[in-house]
Every structure is written in C-alpha cells, then in structure tokens.
Chains A and B, each alone.
Chain A
Amino acid sequence: MTQKYRLDKEGYINRKKSISFKFNGKKYFGYHGDTLASALLANGIHLVGRSFKYHRPRGFIGSKEDEPNAKVQLYNGAKTEPNAVATEVELVEGLVAKSQNCWPSVSFDFGAINNFLSKFFPAGFYYKTFMWPKSFWHKIYEPIIRKAAGLGVAPLKPDPDRYEHKFEHCDVLVVGSGPSGLGSALAAAKNGARVILAEDKSKFGGSLLTDQVTIGNKTGKEWADETVEQLKSMPNVVIKNRSQVFGYYDHNMMVMFERTKDHIESPNKYTPRQKLWYIRAKEVLVSTGSIERPLIFGNNDRPGILLASAAKEYIKKYGVLVGKKPVIFTNNDSAYDAAIEFKKNGINPLVVDIRKNSEGTAVKEAKDLGVNIKFSHAVANTKGYLRVSSATVGKLNNDKSGYENLENIPCDCICVSGNWTPTVHLASQSGNKLKFDEIISAFIPNQSHQNETTIGSANGSFTLKKSLEDGFNKGFEVSNKLTKKNIKSDPPTSNEKSYDNYEKFWCMPLPENKKYKRCVDFQNDVYVSDIELAIREGFRSIEHVKRYTTLGMATDQGKTSNLNGLQLVSNIENKIVPEVGHTTFRPPYTPVTIGTIVGREVGKHYRPTRKSPMHSWHEKNNAVFVDAGLWLRPRYYKQGNETLQQAAKREGANVRKNVGICDVTSLGKIDIKGPDSAEFLNRVYTNAWMKLPVGKARYGVMLREDGIVFDDGTTTRISENHFHMTTTTAQAVNVLAHLEYYLQVVWPELDVNVLSTTEQWAGAAVAGPKSRELLKKLFPETDVSNEGFPFMGFKEENLFGIPARVFRISFSGELAYEINVESNHGIFMWEKIMNLGKSMGIQPYGTEALSTLRIEMGHVAGSEIDGRTIPSDLSLEGMLSKKKDFVGKRSLNREAFLNPNREKIVGVIPVDKKTMIPEGSHLVKDKNAALPNPKLGHISASCWSVEYNNPFSLAILKEGKKRIGEKLYALSPLKNKSIEVEVVSSHYVDPKGERVRS
C-alpha cells in the first residue's frame, strides 16, 4: 500500500483520495490526479512492456504523448483498449492494465530470444530471407511472422461506448495552453475575437506547471490558473482541456477529439466516451510546445532510462521520484532543472554533461545546491536487464571519438536530455514549409501556407519571455485582422533562468571493440547499426531509411526518434540536415480512436433509411423487405411457410389472373416546368417529345453522353409546359443531377425548372386484368373504358375527396394503372384500394414478383441497364429518333457501337423446362471447351415464368437476334452447373403487347 517513490509534497494530486488499480494482475494504489504512469512509478515500477521486434525490456521514456514504450492494454472484454499510452491514461478507481507483446509475462518473456538472435535480423532482413524453399513462405515463415506481429489485442466484442460529433466555427483557435497559448488566447479574446483554446492534458498551463518561473508577481502556475479563470469568464471564449487537436486540413479545417468519459469515476450511462470537434477556424495559433530528445549511447533503452524533463514532470506534477540514485545525462542546461528538483527533495543526483562547462543559471543553481557534475563526460553504456543498475561513464576524448577512462556508476535511473524538438506537426500538416534551425538543431515552421501561426517553443523560442511576447503579439495580430478593434494587451514581465548553449553532440561513441546496441527508435527496435546498414546498402533518401528500418513508424510516430535518426543519416552521409530532409508529418498528431472519428452513424444508422408512407402497412402484412439503395421495399408478403420463390409465384400469378397492388413510391419523380420543357425532354431523351399531347404519358430512354443507357421511365404531360418524369429507384438522384447539369451548364438558354417530387407523392401500381374493374370502384365518376382512359393516358382525379393523379402505364405487362396521391394520404389510398379490391382477389405484390413479371415480358431493368449496354444491345433501337440530336447520340455512331455482332437481349429457356438458370451464368457454345472458354453472353435475370410455369431468363448475347432457336449452354461454374438452353425472343409473354392496351 505504500508508494515508496511518492514524495510527501509536490504535485497536483489529491493525497486524500487514494485510488486502487491493477497492473499485470497485481493491485496497487495511486492518487486522484495521477496518470497510470505516475502511479506505477510511485510504486517503483519502470518495466512496462517489451519492444516490438527483439522483445527487449521497456520502461517509461517520457511523461506525455511522446511516450514510445509504455503502451498497455486496458480493461478486459468489450471495454478493452489496446495500445493505451500509460502516460496519458488518467487513473480511476478499478483501472485494469497489463503489459503487451510479452509472454508469459513482462519480466519473463519468451520472445526475448529474438534479442539474442538480433544479429541475424537486422533492418530489412525479411527481404533477404524466408525464400527457401519457396513453398515454406506461405506455409511456415509468414504465419510465424504474422503471429509475432502486433502489440495489443483487439476487443472481441463490439464497442459499447458512444461517441459524438460537434461542429464549431471560431475566429482564432489556439492549440496548447502553455505560456504562448494562454497569452495569445487572452490577447485575441480581449481584442474581441471568438476564441477556442484547446489543451490536450487534463490541466492547463503546459510548461508553467513544472517550470520555476515568475510572471508579474506570481508563479507561473498561479498566472496560468488566473489566466484560465479569466478566459473562462469571457463569453467569446471556449476553453477545453483533455482536447487534442490532431489534424490540420485544407482551408483551416481543424479536427480535435475531447476525452469526456474515461477519467470519470462513475459516468452517466449516456456520457459519450469522446467527442470529435470539427473546427473551422479563421486563424490558427499553434502553441504545441516542444518535445525533449533522448541521447544515444550503449544500451540506452533499459527500463529506468528516461527523459530528464519527464523526471522533472513526475516530481512537479505528481510528487513522484523516478529513482533514488539518479544519473542525469545531458548536452544542455534544461536537464539541470531535473537535478535541482531531485536535490530539493533530498536525492543526490550525478550530472554527466558532455560540455566542457556551462554558464547557465540552472547550472549555477545546481552547483550551489552541491550537485555533483561531471563535465566533458558521457554515459557510454549501461547495465541491468529489467531495470538499469549502473551507468558506464567516461571522459570524452578531445574529438569525442572515444573515452579516456570508463567507470561503472551504480544508479537506478538515468535521466537524459539531448535538447528540444519543436512540435511542428500541425504546422507541417497545414502545409507550412519547415526550415532547419541550426541553433537548436531542429526543424521549425518557416512559411505558412494557410492562416496558421506557430508560436512559443513550437516555433523554436525556448524562453518564457519570448513565448509570452510571441503569444500576446500574435494573439493581437491575428485577431485584429478579423475584429479590427485594436485592443492590444501587453505581455506581462517574467523571470526565468538563463540557459547556456547546448552542445550539438547526441550520439555517443562506442568504447573500443564494443558493439553495444544504441537505440534510436525504442518501440520499433531501430538501432544506430540499422541506420548505418540502410545507408551502407544504398538507401539515401530519409524516406527510404525510414521504410527500410521502420524508424519512426511505431505508434508514437517517432516523436522522440525521428530527428535523432535523421541527424545520424546526415552525419553518416556527411550532409547537412536540411539536405537530408525530413519525413512527412502526417495526421493524426496522436493516434485517434476510430469510434470517435465515426461518431453516431453506426449500425442501422450507417446510412439513412427511406420508407414509403405505406411502410407500416407492409410491416403489418408480413412484408419481407429488401434494400433498394436507401429505400426499404417489400420484396414479398409472406404467407405461412412460403419461400421467396413460392411467394413471388403466387403474387405474380395473381397479377396475371386477377389484380395486384405494388408500392412504387420509391420510383424517382421529377417535376419539370417551363416553356422549353418539351424541347428539353427532346434533348435528354432519345425519342421525340414535342408532339406529346397534354394528358398523355410516354416511355423514354436516357443515355449518357458516351452512348451508354443511363435510365428509363415514363414522362407525362400534365399541361402544356408541365411534365411529370419518373425514373428508376436506383438512378433518381443521378437523373435529377444529370438534368440540372444540362439545364444550367450546357443549355442555359432553355427556360425550364426541375424539382424532385419523389417524396411528395405516394405511388401504387394496380395491375392485372381486373384492374379496370377496381379503378371503376375507386373513381366511380370517371370513364375508365379503353377509349375513355386509353393506354398511356393520364387523368387528374379525386379519390374519395383526395386529389390523385392516375396514369395508365404498366411495367408488369398487364392492364395496369399507377395512382399517386400526396404522401400523407398514401396509407388512405392503399387501404382504400385493398378494401375495394378484395372482391376481385387483390393481393399486394413485392419487388420479386414485379421482377418476375417484367422479366417474362422482356422489359429491361437495372440488371440490363447496367452501365455497360447501349440501346441496340437492349433492342431499344426503335426509341432512337433520327430527326434530332439527343444526349449520347453521336457516341452511338462510332465503330464499336455500330458493330452488328454486338450483344443483343434475348430470352433463354432451359431445354428441360425445369432447371432455373442461375443469374450471372455465361452462355457458351461448347460446355467442355478448354479454359478460357469463349463467352457468348451472360444471363442478366432469371425467373420462374408464372405464365408458362417454367424457367425463363433474359440474356445479353453476342449476335443475339441471329441465334434465336439456337441451342447453347448456360454455365454456372460457381454452382458447377451446365444447362442446355434454347435462345428465344426476349418477349416471352404477350409479345405484341396486347394486354396493356386491352
């Protein structure tokens, strides 16, 4: 229960609130305000995982999102989360975490055998091996490699959590709440701008939380707290903690996630786990700070070796010592802050400094406190398997190529600092062209491409004074572009330590005849020798080095390793760093939960569902639905134990015999108005439209400009300048877009307006020999005789007080009518038709029966109009007007489309009249021909003909018309079927079309 490494003072934790948690099966305690990392360190635990390839023991490197090693699996079951970063996980009661990528345990891991064989698998070894014998790759090598892959495990159950999305606009988005972030937010807000300030940590303040500085007459922390309060009180400011801006997209589109649940002890059932914010900001101020770089030396990857800034942060934020015998190893002044903190808390650190001396005030303070410093020294190597136990320290010789003497110094942690790397990720994502700053040896933003301004240490200004100035000035500047209020706030005075120059030396030489591993990328096991090997093998581009060695490709995306890697490349190649370049900073800045990106539109809400006004009736009457795009349509109405085929046969037969009713609401409907409407239809349809009388409908075919059939449907002339167009369900949206395009862009001279009315009308098709009788009952006042209401006629009617449009059109091939009423009367219409039709044996029919009816009539639909066929393929030549131009006409007049041997639609029946021909079968001459067997065509649609009670199919067949009467084979290799078939006319039932006209 004792937390051996917890200090009595320091930190922003609540020592009164003890929290229990489990790590690798063992129970520990921490405090409210801890992260999993700080709580583990308080309990003296450094060993948290294993590296990816060699399974070397791994401990914490950092204290924040840069952490490459401490990736853990949280919780169990559906709640489990792989690859959580322990430094970012806030401790809550009952938290369960375990180490990843190790078996049977993190302290004894069989995978560690890889470490002993590591000579045999240097960078790129995969490519050179596993090839003999050839068959072993697939059967043996690859399965083994794959088994070894991965870190955590995916949950096995669907994620029970919910995630939400939020859309925001603002004048100024400030990313990061360190001194420059707070300063700029305040300056911009005071100048009247609408500001969003986003901080990814739970506490605002950034470096002010850990640095010993004063601003005005307050400590940095006090100033930060006060500024945050002030910002919170301003109505034009939104201030968010636990909120990570992870992506900078085009035109200042920013994406951020907010952690809203995991840190709460007993969250509400409906609390979203995370929220995703889309922020369109007019100006973005990037104050994302900087990340400390490790130093590279022999066995620098043992647990207990971590960044000096992390050691300081664990003391200052959590009151935790990362060790009691620390060695601090640095090439700059900032690490002395950690030494001072140790010293103040009664621990005697040893500082090993590469430099000859330093005049910085931090160094002076350390000296005054009596800290032991070894200048001109370096750590050459370390010892200790599961935890560092000693550092081999030596005096560097003059040219820093080796050591003058080496001694072993016992220690329990080594805190390293190789200077700081500005966090330029967002700036780079925004398109900012980075430049290499020779003074700090790192890339900084240089030339903005969008309204992006990077400030503070993210811009390479490592002093508080400069950061505050930057913040206040830029906050004013960018806000003033928008508000023009000229309210300028001056930066407060501040006091901080002065820092001396750092020494640009970060990769320690190996002692003579030693081949210690010097780690560059901790998670992915990339060592100096790997980078040397890549260059030796001719990889020159930094991108090649990255891909060959996997440098920077781990889950931390190289936050601590990339710059060290590329400095190494520049050293080896004897180039300057900017010449080597850097790899691309890609979004997201830190890994983002997929559930958060996806939001609420999951499961059934993945896409909207469109339902007809009669949907509830269909449901009540045992309809089985089918997806038709976004629509749900009744496929059949199940009676008893009927199968789909049986139901379709029954429903279809009833249409042929009595009368059926089908919901056709989903067909696209477009209202076309204007004096040039007829001329417009004349141009978009292949047939003629100028002379269509008012009150008449006509079938039309539309082509794409490349001559391919696009859609078909009927269009009715409601009045002189008013047409009602119908489209297929599938193409409704596309047809409207097609019409709009031609009207607005190609023929703007035409005075026509088009408008979708699909949802305004409920539609019912009433089909069958008894449909006229039914119509008479529905519209007793109307002359429904063949003369009074002929085929392709249209009437505006009154259905028991409700206005209705009645069309005499047919898709089933029977005498049929289509009735449209306003959507809200749909159910009234439907029930009325059902009631009045009862005596005639009316039955509803679904899309399956509809399909059967149209197939045996030889009417084409989506399976023939499949985006690959031209009118002649579908025997629609008769629809092509020779007297006028229309969209797609010219394309038909090209060599390939004029070819008389093209495919043609035909009917096909099995010779045995029994076997259904599977859709998608191909027609061949010789069923036993050697492969590839030449294909003559394919079966586009099949049905069981209700008229003739035998199977019938439509086929698109090469030289189809010439082959009528010919015997071919329909091969369905996926069912291992070959069926002898006879080619017949596609118009199997009522070839002359007498019924529709009867």
Chain B
Amino acid sequence: MLLINCPYCGERDQSEFTNGGEAHVARPKDPDQVNDREWSEYVFVRANPKGIYYERWVHTHGCKKWFNAIRDTSTDEILKIYKIGETPPLIKRFKNTLRSPSGEPDVGSGNFTVKKP
C-alpha cells in the first residue's frame, strides 16, 4: 500500500485515495471540431509508460480534492506531488537503479535479462 502525501491533508494510506489515471489530458475545447479518431483518443487512450508517469489522484475518503503525482510505475516510487493547475514539474533525472521492486530476482525473471557477470 502506497503512502500518499495529499497536498491538503498530508501523508495518508493509499486506501483513502482513488487513482484518476493520466494527468494533463485536456478535454478538447470544442469537441465538434475534432474528428472521431482524435475524440476516441481523448476518451480511451491514456499513456501507460513503464517509468515516469504523471497521474491524478483524488483523496476520496478525505478532503475529496484532486491533485497530481509523478510516480515511477516500474517501482511505484512517488517522486513528486503537486496541485491541479500547477505547472507540471520536469523530472529530468531521478535515481532509479531498480527496475522492479517486486522481489522478482534479476536473473531468469520476467523483469530482467541475463547478464553473465
């Protein structure tokens, strides 16, 4: 269970929050001006990176406020939390030496490739 630092309430257990998917997806200003494909991308297609992910959360069982987080989906480390409307911080470099914290070993597992030492 993640520990999430709600910008309004402080650190709370993940069970109080609901994830809202990719952040900064703007609803087309005039939906009638976009074609079916563009519209379907807005409705259905969201980024799904293995690594740095800008996402939204809402403190459902708390202040009910939405906010943004930057999380590394390959480790579930939360790198940054910021409010809706704030400029998304650029995460250029961060320390991520582990590609998965699942306890999956680095050899012979689905996460890594074999490197003969």
B84: Cβ under 8 A from any A Cβ: yes
Q: Contacts A579-B117, A581-B107 given: A249-B101 contact, CB under 8 Å?
A: no
Cβ proximity bits A409-448 to B, threshold 8 Å, 1 near / 0 not: 0000000000000000000111101100000000000010
Q: Which residues of A contact B97 (CB under 8 A)?
A: 447
- Chain B 1-56 residues near chain A, CB threshold 8 A: 1-3, 13, 18, 20, 27-28, 30-32, 34, 36, 39-40, 42-44, 56
Q: Contacts A579-B116, A741-B66 given: A746-B107 contact, CB under 8 Å?
A: no
> Is the CB–CB distance between B84 and A447 below 8 Å?
no
Out of B2, B34, B78, B106, which one reaches A890, CB within 8 Å? B34
Cβ proximity bits B79-115 to A, threshold 8 Å, 1 near / 0 not: 0000011000000000001101111111111000010
> Is the CB–CB distance between A447 and B98 below 8 Å?
yes
A627: Cβ under 8 A from any B Cβ: no
> Is the CB–CB distance between A433 and B58 below 8 Å?
no
B19 to chain A, nearest CB (A): 12
Size band of the interface chain A makes with B: 35 or more
> Is the CB–CB distance between A449 and B32 below 8 Å?
no
A740: Cβ under 8 A from any B Cβ: yes
> Is the CB–CB distance between B114 and A579 below 8 Å?
yes
Q: Which residues of B contact A280 (CB under 8 A)?
A: 3, 13
Name the CB-closest residue of A to B36.
A894
The distance in angstroms between the C-alpha atoms of A819 and B81, with both chains bound, is 45
Out of B36, B66, B78, which one reaches A744, CB within 8 Å? B66
A280 to chain B, nearest CB (A): 7
A154: Cβ under 8 A from any B Cβ: no
Q: Which of B30, B40, B100, B105 has the most CB of A within 10 A?
A: B105
Q: Which residues of A contact B39 (CB under 8 A)?
A: 890-891, 894
A990: Cβ under 8 A from any B Cβ: no
> Is the CB–CB distance between A740 and B58 below 8 Å?
yes
> Is the CB–CB distance between A429 and B3 below 8 Å?
no
- Chain A 572-614 residues near chain B, CB threshold 8 A: 576, 578-586
Name the CB-closest residue of A to B44.
A706
The distance in angstroms between the C-alpha atoms of A542 and B32, with both chains bound, is 56
Q: Which residues of B contact A450 (CB under 8 A)?
A: 101
> Is the CB–CB distance between B117 and A890 below 8 Å?
no
The distance in angstroms between the C-alpha atoms of A636 and B77, with both chains bound, is 52
Q: Which residues of A contact B102 (CB under 8 A)?
A: 431, 584
Name the CB-closest residue of A to B65.
A744
The distance in angstroms between the C-alpha atoms of A877 and B54, with both chains bound, is 38
> Is the CB–CB distance between B108 and A581 below 8 Å?
yes
Out of B27, B43, B103, B116, which one reaches A431, CB within 8 Å? B103
Q: Which residues of B contact A449 (CB under 8 A)?
A: 75, 98, 101
> Is the CB–CB distance between B66 and A251 below 8 Å?
no
- Chain A 470-509 residues near chain B, CB threshold 8 A: none
> Is the CB–CB distance between B106 and A250 below 8 Å?
no
Q: Which residues of B contact A143 (CB under 8 A)?
A: none
Q: Which residues of B contact A885 (CB under 8 A)?
A: 30-32
The distance in angstroms between the C-alpha atoms of A689 and B44, with both chains bound, is 28
Q: Contacts A429-B103, A450-B101, A885-B30 given: A250-B76 contact, CB under 8 Å?
A: yes
Name the CB-closest residue of B to A426.
B103
Out of A586, A705, A740, which one reaches B43, CB within 8 Å? A705
> Is the CB–CB distance between A740 and B3 below 8 Å?
no
A253: Cβ under 8 A from any B Cβ: yes
The distance in angstroms between the C-alpha atoms of A741 and B98, with both chains bound, is 34
A889: Cβ under 8 A from any B Cβ: yes
The distance in angstroms between the C-alpha atoms of A705 and B106, with both chains bound, is 42
Q: Which residues of B contact A773 (CB under 8 A)?
A: none
Out of A431, A447, A737, which one reaches B75, CB within 8 Å? A431
> Is the CB–CB distance between A585 and B103 below 8 Å?
yes
A290 to chain B, nearest CB (A): 19
Name the CB-closest residue of B to A577.
B107
The distance in angstroms between the C-alpha atoms of A434 and B65, with both chains bound, is 40
Q: Contacts A579-B114, A585-B103 given: A543-B109 contact, CB under 8 Å?
A: yes
A182 to chain B, nearest CB (A): 27
The distance in angstroms between the C-alpha atoms of A584 and B104, with both chains bound, is 5
Out of A434, A578, A740, A895, which one reaches B66, CB within 8 Å? A740
Name the CB-closest residue of B to A249.
B1
> Is the CB–CB distance between B108 and A741 below 8 Å?
no
Out of B44, B58, B105, which one reaches A583, CB within 8 Å? B105
Q: Which of A430, A447, A583, A890 has the most CB of B within 10 A?
A: A890
Q: Which residues of A contact B116 (CB under 8 A)?
A: 579
> Is the CB–CB distance between A251 and B2 below 8 Å?
yes
A693: Cβ under 8 A from any B Cβ: no
The distance in angstroms between the C-alpha atoms of A434 and B28, with both chains bound, is 48
The distance in angstroms between the C-alpha atoms of A748 and B20, with both chains bound, is 16
> Is the CB–CB distance between B36 and A584 below 8 Å?
no
Out of A579, A586, A741, A894, which one reaches B58, CB within 8 Å? A741
Q: Contacts A434-B105, A890-B32 given: A251-B85 contact, CB under 8 Å?
A: no
Name the CB-closest residue of B to A736.
B64
The distance in angstroms between the C-alpha atoms of A632 and B40, with both chains bound, is 39
Name the CB-closest residue of B to A427.
B103
A683 to chain B, nearest CB (A): 10
Name the CB-closest residue of A to B117.
A578
Name the CB-closest residue of B to A435.
B106
Q: Which residues of A contact B100 (CB under 8 A)?
A: 431
Q: Contacts A250-B1, A430-B101, A889-B31 given: A579-B107 contact, CB under 8 Å?
A: yes
> Is the CB–CB distance between A253 and B1 below 8 Å?
yes
Out of A252, A586, A741, which one reaches B103, CB within 8 Å? A586
Name the CB-closest residue of B to A707.
B43
Q: Which residues of B contact A744 (CB under 8 A)?
A: 58, 65-66, 84
The distance in angstroms between the C-alpha atoms of A428 and B109, with both chains bound, is 14
> Is the CB–CB distance between B84 and A748 below 8 Å?
yes
> Is the CB–CB distance between B30 and A580 below 8 Å?
no
Q: Which residues of B contact A249 (CB under 8 A)?
A: 1
The distance in angstroms between the C-alpha atoms of A252 and B77, with both chains bound, is 11
The distance in angstroms between the C-alpha atoms of A250 and B28, with both chains bound, is 36
- Chain A 657-710 residues near chain B, CB threshold 8 A: 705-706
A1: Cβ under 8 A from any B Cβ: no
> Is the CB–CB distance between A543 and B32 below 8 Å?
no
The distance in angstroms between the C-alpha atoms of A890 and B32, with both chains bound, is 6
Out of B36, B43, B64, which one reaches A895, CB within 8 Å? B36
Q: Which residues of B contact A447 (CB under 8 A)?
A: 97-98
Name the CB-closest residue of B to A586.
B103
Q: Which residues of A contact B75 (CB under 8 A)?
A: 431, 449
The distance in angstroms between the C-alpha atoms of A152 and B28, with both chains bound, is 61
A745: Cβ under 8 A from any B Cβ: yes
Name the CB-closest residue of B to A581.
B107
B90 to chain A, nearest CB (A): 21
Q: Contacts A449-B75, A741-B20 given: A433-B3 contact, CB under 8 Å?
A: no
> Is the CB–CB distance between A433 and B107 below 8 Å?
no
A251 to chain B, nearest CB (A): 4
The distance in angstroms between the C-alpha atoms of A379 and B21, with both chains bound, is 61
B117 to chain A, nearest CB (A): 6
Q: Which residues of A contact B13 (CB under 8 A)?
A: 253, 280
B108 to chain A, nearest CB (A): 4
New contact pairs (6) apart from A429-B103, A740-B58, A885-B30, CB-CB < 8 Å: A249-B1, A250-B2, A252-B3, A449-B75, A449-B98, A579-B107
Residues of A within 8 A of B (CB): 249-253, 280, 428-431, 433-434, 447, 449-450, 541-543, 576, 578-586, 705-706, 737, 740-741, 744-746, 748, 885, 889-891, 893-895
Residues of B within 8 A of A (CB): 1-3, 13, 18, 20, 27-28, 30-32, 34, 36, 39-40, 42-44, 56, 58, 60, 64-66, 75-76, 78, 84-85, 97-98, 100-109, 114, 116-117
Sort A-B residue pairs by CB-CB distance and give the 9 closest, nearest first.
A431-B101, A581-B107, A890-B31, A251-B3, A581-B108, A744-B66, A541-B108, A449-B101, A581-B105
Query: Can you spell out 27 A-B residue pairs with CB atoms less than 8 angstroms apart?
Result: A250-B3, A251-B1, A252-B3, A280-B3, A447-B98, A449-B75, A450-B101, A543-B108, A543-B109, A576-B117, A579-B117, A581-B105, A581-B108, A582-B105, A584-B103, A584-B109, A706-B43, A706-B44, A741-B66, A744-B65, A745-B20, A745-B56, A885-B30, A885-B31, A890-B28, A890-B32, A894-B39
